[in-house]
Amino acid sequence: MPGSSLPSPPDPASGRPSPPAGRADRLAERAEVLRELVPSYLARRRALLLWLSAGLVATGWAAIWVGCRYVVMDDLVSVVVGAFFLAVAVGLVVPSTLAVGSGVRDDLKARERLRAWAGSARDRDSLARWHSPGRALFWLLPSLVLCCFGAASTAAAAADGSARALGFALVAAGTGALGMAKAVGYYRLVGRELTPAPEEPEEPGEPEEPGEFEESGEFEEPGEFEELEEPRECEEPEVPGEFEEFEADPTGGRPDDMR
């Protein structure tokens, strides 16, 4: 599998952001790993092997069709010829299908590894070190043609009711879809690399320490104050009556204060 001997990708959600020196080393390591992963993931020989396997599967499907036509005949020679074509078809279809399945499994593992390394950081400056536009186009354009041709042929074969044409169309459409999925997945990684990274949320500040008065506890609680005595009711002074008579002097004269 491509990149199986490379180090494991870092965890993007682990801890706080690394210091500038550590981040530079991590970006350099990331660029070197992607530089090895991308060419092996988009290797042209892998595309050629996929198309060759698809061609062998289509040839095997044609051999199956021819063999079935000979087998249904009554003469012995036709039956033998039909059995020969069926054996050839099995020898073509089975290994080719297994090869395509093995390649798809390896591609899925390589894609997960590539996405893990690409998702660990974003560095537009290092994109030129691992970007492979030529390989990506080599996968995308022929796969697009195969997929469109296969889809149109599938619709036409389904309308005509031709099983042989339907088999060829499905093989072409499936092969094109596999190649397009690979190329589109790679372009998504490139697009993510060119997108600015989201700003990291600021860490919450330290809680404010209590003030001097709160620490010293100089504030008195309401219960510490002495309660004021309620004012007593003022006694009304006795006012002498208007017609209160002065006590007469036994000598018959006026009081001394009236003299």
Q: Where are the beta strands (DSSP E) in the chain?
A: none
Band of residue 85 on the pLDDT scale cut at 50, 70, 90:
very high
Whether pLDDT at 89 is above 90: yes
User: Residue 220 has which token pair?
Assistant: 């008195």
Mean predicted confidence (pLDDT) in 116-131: 80
Mean pLDDT: which of 139-153, 212-226, 237-251 is highest? 139-153
pLDDT tens for 136-183 read 999 999 999 999 999 999 999 998 888 889 999 999 999 999 999 999
Q: What is the pLDDT of residue 238?
A: 54
Identify the residue whose tokens are 């959600």.
Answer: 13
Q: What is the pLDDT of residue 189?
A: 87
Q: What is the pLDDT of residue 224?
A: 47
Q: What is the pLDDT of residue 97?
A: 94
Q: What is the pLDDT of residue 80?
A: 93
Whether pLDDT at 47 is above 90: yes
pLDDT tens for 2-45 read 555 556 666 555 444 445 546 777 888 888 888 888 988 999 99
Phi, psi at residue 143, to the nearest 5°?
-65, -40
Mean pLDDT: which of 45-49, 108-112, 225-229, 245-249 is highest? 45-49
Q: What is the pLDDT of residue 199?
A: 57
CB distance 119 to 12 below 8 Å:
yes
More confident residue, 75 or 87: 87
Q: 10 Å Cβ neighbour count for 118? A: 22
Mean predicted confidence (pLDDT) in 216-227: 48
Mean predicted confidence (pLDDT) in 47-51: 95
pLDDT tens for 198-207 read 654 544 545 5
C-alpha distance from residue 138 to each of 48, 107, 117, 170 (Å): 10, 16, 23, 22
- Percentage of residues in the chain with pLDDT exceeding 70? 67
Q: What is the pLDDT of residue 190?
A: 86
Stated pTM of the model: 0.67
Distance separating alpha carbons of residues 122 and 167, to the nearest angstrom:
44
Q: What is the pLDDT of residue 102?
A: 93
Q: 10 Å Cβ neighbour count for 197? A: 11
Whether pLDDT at 83 is above 90: yes
Residues 6+ apart with CB under 8 A from 15: none
- Percentage of residues in the chain with pLDDT exceeding 90? 39
Identify the residue whose tokens are 């022929």.
Answer: 142
**What is the overall mean pLDDT for the chain?**
77
